[in-house]
Amino acid sequence: MLQLLGLPESASAHAGEIDRIVLSVHWLMAILFVGWGAFFIYTLVRFRAGANPKADYHGVKGHASTWVEAGVALFEVVLISQLGHFVEHLVQVYQIHVLGLTGPAARGIFGQLDIEWVHFGFNTYLLIAFLLLALKFRRNPWLWVSVVVAAVHEIEHLYIMTNFLRTGTPGLPGLLARGGVIHIPLSRADVHFLYNLVESIPMMLAFVWQLRVAYDEWLAKAFPRLSQQELATATKHLQAVSVIPGDVVVREGEPADRFYIITKGRVEVLRGDRTVAFLGPGEYFGEIGLLGGEPRSATVRAIEPSELLALDRGAFASVIANSAETVEDLQQIVAQRVASLTAEPSGPTRS
């Protein structure tokens, strides 16, 4: 391998160690290349144009969707930082067990950061981030596993940090490592490599799980009895619509072609010239014509700058096709709204 890399003949006392480090870095680069290459190919296949709806370049504007996007972004930051931390421990274990290095020579890639404050601070950050993500994505079981593992790891570092502050001696074994309280036959480097391995695996599973079931929260409020998989499928077909006061979203008598969910702002519902209702965030309209196959029964006009999520006729039909409970909920709403549209004028209904 060293010959393939074109390294010169050894000419110093430390040439062998330098060659081993260069070799280990190239092996690491090869592993990363294969891993990220496989992931890239997967994304090309998984998200190819033929298998997905046309992209919406305006994006989803609702506040709940913004929080979901922020949560996923935090997810990615935590995952990448944890995987980087794991690689650091992996290199350190490689240095110890494969290269035979010890002491300062076996401190990973960034040896200057191999200090107690950094270890304690980084794991505290992970625990807090895992907990925030678990509270945001409560149904993700792997996130709660990550929280438990990170909490156990934090106890280990808290014990180490307490002894470090008390004695001033870095590198103490802690609770589990050889020479520690429980004293298992593993060095501190091995124990913390295993800690990070056990943290990284559920974190990656949590990320994959979340991508599979990611859905828009406004859609979940409109259709609370859809399964997570059904919500995730429907979310792919959502289109963002922005309107300003006075814009007519749907007009009475026109063909019904879309279903709308309000994520921000308010609209008024008119029958003729009469306002019969006001709708706000979390409420929806357009279902009467789609369910009955009839023209629009009322006009809906924005009275504030508003943001909407829209499902076209086909996507709406697909959403409700496999959920009798959702159809039942919609029919109840339709019955109430038809009654209000045909009732004698008594002032608009406010939400």
Q: State the Cα–Cα distance between residues 24 and 32, nearest whole angstrom.
A: 12
Pick 181 or 75 by higher pLDDT.
181
Torsion angle (degrees, nearest 10) of CA 331, 337, 343, 347 = 160
**pLDDT at residue 209 above 90?**
no
Instruction: Enumerate the domain spans of the chain.
Output: 1-46, 62-213, 222-342
What confidence tens digit (pLDDT) does each residue in 255-290 have? Answer: 999 999 998 899 999 998 889 889 999 899 999 999
**pLDDT at residue 25 above 60?**
yes
Give the CA radius of gyration of the chain: 29
Give burial (CB, 10 Å; 0-12/13-18/19+) of 116. Answer: middle
**Tokens representing residue 233 in the block:** 């499928």
Q: State the Cα–Cα distance between residues 282 and 218, nearest whole angstrom.
A: 6
User: Is the pTM value of this prediction over 0.85?
Assistant: no
Alpha-carbon distances of 186 from 67, 93, 106, 175, 336, rounded to whole Å: 43, 12, 16, 11, 68
Model pLDDT, residue 9: 62
Mean pLDDT of the chain: 82
222-342 belongs to CATH 2.30.40.10: no
Q: State the Cα–Cα distance between residues 122 and 129, nearest whole angstrom.
A: 10
Question: Residues 224-230: what's their mean pLDDT?
Answer: 83
Q: State the Cα–Cα distance between residues 249 and 253, nearest whole angstrom.
A: 13
Q: State the Cα–Cα distance between residues 42 and 48, nearest whole angstrom.
A: 10
Is the distance from CB of 252 to CB of 278 less than 8 angstroms?
Answer: no
**Tokens representing residue 39 in the block:** 């992931």
Nearest Cα neighbor of 264 from 285, 279, 274 is: 279
Model pLDDT, residue 56: 43
Q: State the Cα–Cα distance between residues 53 and 323, nearest whole angstrom.
A: 22
Is the distance from CB of 337 to CB of 284 less than 8 angstroms?
Answer: no
Q: State the Cα–Cα distance between residues 123 and 131, nearest whole angstrom.
A: 12
Is the distance from CB of 323 to CB of 277 less than 8 angstroms?
Answer: no
Q: What values do phi and psi take at 296, rounded to 5? A: -60, 135
Q: State the Cα–Cα distance between residues 213 and 43, nearest whole angstrom.
A: 16
Model pLDDT, residue 259: 94
Question: Residues 166-192: what's their mean pLDDT?
Answer: 89
